[in-house]
Amino acid sequence: MTEVKVATSSSEVDEALELRRRVYVDEQGVTLEADRDGLDPGALHVVAIDAGRVVGTCRLVFEDDLARLGRMAVDNELRGRGIGAEILAAAEREARAAGAARIRLHSQTAARSLYERGGFQIRGEEFMEEGIPHVTMEKPLA
């Protein structure tokens, strides 16, 4: 059984960062510098834990009434099992609890349907980020 929650220890955050490195740097060819943008210390990290290890993560960065969701990653062996949707739902609950009126993210176009199923809508045109096509998506929370 997978537990999805806010990271409560530095070791959980460290595991989330390591998962992001495997997904973004090793699998997708993103530079480590691009992933580690300096926002992690002030972010709220949501983690999915299965059998004692972090198997999924995202982070929320708050700016006024906006929650910016980013760095969503799920272990490649566990994709397609609903973990991403569970993380998304937990992040939305946390953003709402923190008083955010809306939540915004940059989705890789390949993952767009996950966010659409979660109620997010595309805002604007497709763009490239780290050589990967993305779209901005947003969902009102209020």
Does the pLDDT at position 23 exceed 80? yes
What pTM was estimated for this model as a whole? 0.95
pLDDT tens per residue, range 54-87: 999 999 999 999 999 999 999 999 999 999 999 9
Picking from 76, 92, 62, 69, the residue whose alpha carbon sits closest to that of residue 27 is: 76
Q: Which CATH architecture is the domain 3-140 placed in?
A: 3-Layer(aba) Sandwich (3.40)
Encoding tokens for residue 111?
């993952």
**Which residues have C-beta within 8 Å of that of residue 136, sequence separation ≥ 6?**
104, 105, 106, 107, 122, 123, 124, 127
1 or 45: which leads in pLDDT? 45
Q: Where are the domains of the chain?
A: 3-140
pLDDT tens per residue, range 33-52: 999 999 999 999 999 999 99
Average pLDDT, integer, range 11-28:
97
